[in-house]
Amino acid sequence: MISSKSIRVFAPATVANVACGFDVLGFAIHGLGDYVTARFSDVSGLSIESVTGDDGRLPRDPKKNTAGLAALALMKKTGMKDGVGIALSIEKKMPLGSGLGSSAASSAAAVVAVNELLGKPFSLQDLLPFAVEGEIAASGTAHADNVAAALFGGFILVKTHNPPDVISLHTPPKLFCTIIHPSIEIQTRNSRLILKKEVQLEKAVTQWGNLGALIAGLYTEDYDLIGRSLHDEIVEPVRSMLIPGFAEMKQAAMEAGALGCSISGSGPSLFVLSTSEEIATKAGKEMGKVLKEIGLEFDVHISKINTEGASVVDNL
Residues whose CB falls within 8 Å of the CB of residue 211, separated by 6 or more in sequence, listed in order: 20, 21, 24, 25, 229
Alpha helices (H) in the chain, listed in sequence order? 66-78, 102-117, 124-139, 145-152, 188-193, 201-220, 223-229, 236-239, 246-255, 277-293
Q: Which residue type occupies 69?
A: L
C-alpha distances (whole Å) from 272 to each of 61, 153, 240, 293 are: 36, 18, 15, 20
Instruction: Report the DSSP beta bridge partners of residue 9.
Output: 36, 312
Cα–Cα distance, 219 to 179 (Å, whole number): 23
- 37, 178, 188, 275: the catalytic one is 188
Q: Which of 91, 116, 133, 135 is catalytic?
A: 135
| Nearest C-alpha neighbor of 178 from the set 298, 70, 283, 61 | 283
Other CB atoms within 10 Å distance of the CB of residue 224: 10
Catalytic residue check, 135: yes
Asked if 82 contacts 61 with a C-beta cutoff of 8 angstroms, the reply is no
Phi first, then psi: what are they for 148, rounded to 5°? -70, -40
Q: How many residues does the chain have?
A: 316
Q: Which amino acid is at 237?
A: P
Which residues belong to the active site?
A: 135, 188
